[in-house]
Amino acid sequence: MRIADILRSKGPAVVTVDPGMLVGELIGELSRHNVGALVVMEEGTVAGIVTERDVVRRIYERGREVLDARVADIMTTAIYACVPSDTVDSLAETMTERRIRHLPVIVDGRLVGIVSIGDVVKSRIGELQTERDQLESYIDRG
């Protein structure tokens, strides 16, 4: 299965934020959209990604004043991304090795989606269910 298949299933919608947004506002966006990460866009380009983990770690390190900091101050700028033609298996490997839970999907420098570890797991479970159903059908015919 390819990343394009996941995007077809879940859709291409990606919630993005500006690097100048306050962290306190960011928390509201994460909650409102029920997501664990948001892509940070600056002038139409992916500038970074910010996750719930980033927020929690910075609150632990700096205290509550981080809520008045800008997203740019806490976001991750070393972005790992994927393309629609990547396989789900290769993405799972990257996510595991790099300890990443969300990867933007980028085509020709344009953000076209985002894939989470939950999307990867759901995809893999679907594949396993299909294989199981095929095996049961084969056994029943025998």
Q: Which of 94, 138, 142 is nearest to 116 (CA)?
A: 94
Q: What is residue 133's predicted lDDT score, i.e. its pLDDT?
A: 76
Q: What is residue 37's predicted lDDT score, i.e. its pLDDT?
A: 96
Q: Which domains does the chain have, with CATH numbers?
A: 3-141 (3.10.580.10)
The DSSP code sequence of 93-124 is: HHHHHHT-SEEEEEETTEEEEEEEHHHHHHHH
Mean pLDDT across the chain, nearest whole number?
A: 92
Q: Which pTM value belongs to this model?
A: 0.85
Q: How confident is the model at residue 142 (pLDDT cuts 50, 70, 90)?
A: low
> Tell me: the pLDDT tens digits for 74-84?
999 999 999 99
